[in-house]
A and B are shown apart, each in its own frame.
Chain A
Amino acid sequence: MEAFLGNLDKVIDGFSWTVRLTLCSALFSFILGVVLTAMRVSPVPMMRGLATVYVEGIRNTPLTLVLLFCGLGINSALGVALADSVKWDVFWWAVIGLSAYTACFVSESLRAGVNTVPLGQVEAARSLGLTFTQNLRLIVLPQALRSVVGPLGSVLIALTKNTTIASVAGLGVQEASRQMKLMFDQGIAPVIPTFIGFALGFLILTLPTGFFFGWLSKRVAVAR
Chain B
Amino acid sequence: MTATPLVTLENVDKHFGELHVLRGIDLSVERGEVVVVIGPSGSGKSTLCRTINRLETIDGGAITIDGVPLPEEGRGLARLRSDVGMVFQSFNLFAHKTVLQNVTIGPIKVRKKSKAAAEKRALELLDRVGIANQANKYPAQLSGGQQQRVAIARALAMEPKVLMFDEPTSALDPEMVQEVLDVMTSLAAEGMTMIVVTHEMGFARRAANRVVFMADGEIVEQAAPDDFFANPSSQRAKDFLSKILSH
Hey, which bits of chain A sit against chain B, CB under 8 A?
43, 118, 120-121, 123-131, 134, 138-139, 142-143, 146, 222-224
Contact = CB atoms under 8 A, between A and B. Distances in A.
29 contacts: A118-B92, A121-B95, A124-B151, A126-B53, A126-B78, A127-B53, A127-B55, A127-B85, A127-B86, A127-B155, A128-B82, A128-B105, A128-B106, A128-B110, A128-B154, A128-B158, A129-B80, A129-B83, A129-B110, A130-B106, A131-B75, A134-B109, A138-B109, A139-B94, A142-B96, A143-B95, A222-B95, A223-B138, A224-B95
B81 interface: yes
A124 B94 contact: yes
B140 A124 contact: no
Contacts of B75: 131
Contact of B140 (A123, A138, A142, A223): A223
B90 A125 contact: no
Interface residues of B, number: 31
Interface string B197-215: 0000000000000000000
A78 B223 CA distance: 79
A117 to B, nearest CB: 9
Contacts of A224: 95, 140
Given A143-B96, A146-B96, A224-B140, A129 B90 contact: no
A124 B105 CA distance: 11
A129 B82 contact: yes
A224 B110 CA distance: 25
A63 to B, nearest CB: 34
Q: Which applies to chain A's interface (DSSP): helix, strand, loop or mixed?
A: helix
Contacts of B78: 126, 129-131
A124 B109 contact: no
Contacts of B106: 128-130
Q: Which applies to chain B's interface (DSSP): helix, strand, loop or mixed?
A: mixed
A146 B138 CA distance: 15
Nearest to A224: B95
Given A127-B53, A129-B106, A129-B158, A121 B94 contact: yes
Contact of A138 (B81, B105, B155, B158): B105
B51 to A, nearest CB: 13
Contacts of B154: 128
A133 to B, nearest CB: 10
Nearest to B106: A128
Contacts of B73: 43
B88 A123 contact: yes
Nearest to A118: B92
Interface string B117-155: 000000000000000000000101100000000010011
A100 B182 CA distance: 56
Given A128-B158, A224-B95, 19 more contacts: A43-B73, A118-B92, A120-B88, A120-B92, A124-B86, A124-B88, A124-B92, A124-B93, A126-B78, A128-B82, A128-B110, A128-B154, A129-B78, A129-B79, A129-B110, A134-B110, A139-B94, A142-B96, A223-B138
A126 B77 CA distance: 9
A123 B92 contact: yes
A74 B105 CA distance: 46
Nearest to A139: B94
A126 B56 CA distance: 12
B159 to A, nearest CB: 12
Interface string B41-62: 0000000000001010000000
Nearest to A127: B86
Contacts of B90: 120
Contacts of A121: 92, 94-95
B36 interface: no
Nearest to A145: B96
A125 B94 contact: yes
B152 to A, nearest CB: 12
Contacts of B80: 129
